[in-house]
A = this chain, B = another copy of it.
Amino acid sequence: MTTTTDAIPKGARELCTPTVEEAKRLAETVERVAEKTRLAAARFPETRDVVLGGSFAKGTWLPGEADIDIFVKLSPDIDEARFEEVGLKVGLEATKGYPRGKKYAQHPYTEARVEGVVVNIVPCYDVQAGQWKSAADRSPFHVELVKTRLSEAQKLDVRLLKKFMKGVGVYGAEIEKEGFSGYACEVLVLEHGSFVDVLKHFIHLKAVAPDRLLTLPDPVDERRDLAKAISNEIVARLVLAARAYLKRPTLQFFLGKTGKKRPNLQAHVIGITFTHRESSEDILWGELKRTMKHLSGHIKRAGFALARTAIASDDRRESAFLILPEVRELSAIEKRLGPSVVMEREANEFLAKNSKRAKLVWVGEAGQLQILQNRDEVRLSDFLRRMVRGEIAKMGGSPTISRAIAKNGKVIEGRPLLRAAKRKGWLSAGLNDIVSDTLGTSPG
């Protein structure tokens, strides 16, 4: 493979550099909320400090996509209940007058929209490095690391890397995506030097274990692996995208570049659509993934080979499982293996149970009973319809999702599926995904 020099395509740097105006406006907003937070914090003797975080504070935000985090550092001596109470009270007080609400990570925190910008007010314990008491305690150390160890030029590299990752669809730490976080991008640039060096690292990536492509220790806590929540598929897609980019670096990679779409295959896709109750995206996607995994297992055990599966969701009340089958119709007869004839009781039971129905009963070379019988369900769509009508509830996926499917799930394929996708953007996106090549797999 020939790789081009460190060239960044014309326009990419501009695309990834916020304007002076944006920076100034954000700085004013941050200062305003930070000041209010400090005042609110001062009312509680347990507060120790208020520090700024998020991509804005670190100087690694992309235009229009700044995160503003305000960390309220609390005494490590207080218990969890008090920790949460003080954290939320400070957050609410500081964002009074703005649309705001309670969000949940390991602990609850306050999210508010201030002058068009999302601001998070997050409590953490004021601890020494390594003495972590809550998940947020590392964050001020992350901020410090990025601010002091990355040069201004490298911060641009982080922004290029983030934009590139977004463009090729591997950015985002939520469970739906299982992709790279902003902090992972910062650590990668810190480790490899520049945007292009990060990509160069990935094109020659070596797997760290037979079932694990990537490991990425947190410099602030070496025992923590930042790649733990990144799927192998995402890493593999970054590898392929990096190879394609270094071969021919174009601005399109930063703007949104996907693999070739194969619309002809849409006619092969079978979907199960259903509505369900709302929950947080993390919980919803966890349940959807778990259920899809069980469903795939059932489909395969029934003899239908699957090519590819996908999940689509509006992230609120509607979702769909999409299946691109390799085999959508099985042979009308099936062979079943019984016990060896010398297992007398089992053999007699097998014969009593099956020989009436069988189309042929014989013994194989090993002395095992074998039968040919008519298959109950030849078509995958029939199998899925039966699953949806009730079997799905017993199959061991998420009870919430299984119950929702048993209640209102529909198996659709062909034109009805395409028509539904025309009305629903999220379904259309899923349908496009499942029939699209992975970026970087096409020749040239």
Contacts and interface: CB of A to CB of B under 8 A. Distances in A.
Interface string A217-243: 000000000000001110111011000
Interface string A366-379: 11111010000000
A379 to B, nearest CB: 12
Greatest chain B CB density within 10 A among A264, A265, A348, A361 is at: A361
Stoichiometry, as copies per complex, reads: 2
Contacts of A204: 344
A259 B362 contact: yes
A331 interface: yes
A113 interface: no
A331 B240 CA distance: 29
Contacts of A211: 366
Q: What is the size category of the interface that chain A forms with chain B?
A: 35 or more
A441 interface: yes
A406 interface: no
Contacts of A334: 326
A333 B211 CA distance: 28
A205 interface: yes
A15 interface: no
Given A206-B342, A367-B235, A333 B307 contact: yes
Given A232-B366, A344-B204, A435 B360 contact: yes
Contact of A331 (B233, B262, B329, B344): B329
A335 interface: yes
Contacts of A327: 330-331
A335 B308 CA distance: 9
Nearest to A366: B232
Nearest to A328: B331
A363 interface: yes
A362 B437 contact: yes
In the complex, the 10 A-B pairs of residues with the closest C-beta atoms, listed nearest first: A236-B367, A361-B441, A232-B367, A236-B363, A236-B341, A362-B438, A327-B331, A326-B335, A361-B437, A307-B335
